[in-house]
Each structure stands twice: as C-alpha cells, then as structure tokens.
Amino acid sequence: QVQLVESGGGLVQAGGSLRVSCAASGLTFSRAAMGWFRQAPGKEREFVAAIRWSGDSTYYADSVKGRFTISRDNAKNTVYLQMNSLKPEDTAVYYCAADYTEVIFSTPNRWNYWGQGTQVTVSS
C-alpha cells in the first residue's frame, strides 16, 4: 500500500530554516502530484505547497510564498519542503500528501494519500 513518511521536523528559532522530507513508497511516484499541508492546534488543516508530477509547476499558499520552496527527486521517491525565514505562526504538524492528478487542489479532501505528519515548532 501507499506509504508516505515525513522527516526533518523539529524546533527552530524565528528567522531560521528547516527542511522537511517525505519518502514515498507503494505508488508510482513519478506520476503523482505531491503536496504539503499543515495543521496547528485548534485549526483546520491548510494547504502549504504542491508540485505536479513532472516538477514543472509549483503552487504555494500566500502565507509562505517567497519563504518556502517545494521540490522533488523522482529518483529517490522523495519530496522536500525547504522553509526559510520561519515565523512562530508556521508552527504546526506538517503533512505530506499525494495523488494521481493533473489538477492541484488546495483542499485536503481532494488528496487521497497522507503521511503521519512531522512537528515543526518555531520559537519567538
């Protein structure tokens, strides 16, 4: 079955950087769109970034545009989220998502496969 395993979360000071990774198995990674979502305590899960299967198009939430970069390595079946200039409001559990789709959706319920999440905490 499909497995998505996130790693790389942790505690970082405001203004710092962190890179989270998501290793995928059980799916044809090179044909799957990949996304990152996050969920803070008491809030709904929200879209952060996504990348098409080909890697030629990326999408970002306005709140992270210019600070976060999503990328993928199809040879390693891994997608990355480089997070720079982190703010306390970026604190959340970050989830990796995958789906076979040409259209990128920002709503979580349009994505079929999910990882277990990794905690990112940004201290002020």
Phi/psi of residue 86, nearest 5 degrees: -65, 145
Q: Write the single-letter amino acid at 53.
A: W
Tokens, residue 58: 């990326």
DSSP letter, residue 114: E
Task: Summarize the confidence of residues 75-93 as an average pLDDT.
Answer: 98
pLDDT band at 123 (very low <50, low <70, confident <90, very high): very high
List pLDDT tens digits, range 26-82. 999 999 999 999 999 999 999 999 999 999 999 999 999 999 999 999 999 999 999
**Distance, CA of 88 to CA of 72 (rounded, Å):** 26
Q: What is the pLDDT at residue 57? A: 96
- Name residue, tokens 């044909």: 31
Percent of the chain at pLDDT exceeding 70: 100
Q: Write the single-letter amino acid at 105.
A: F
**Distance, CA of 124 to CA of 122 (rounded, Å):** 7
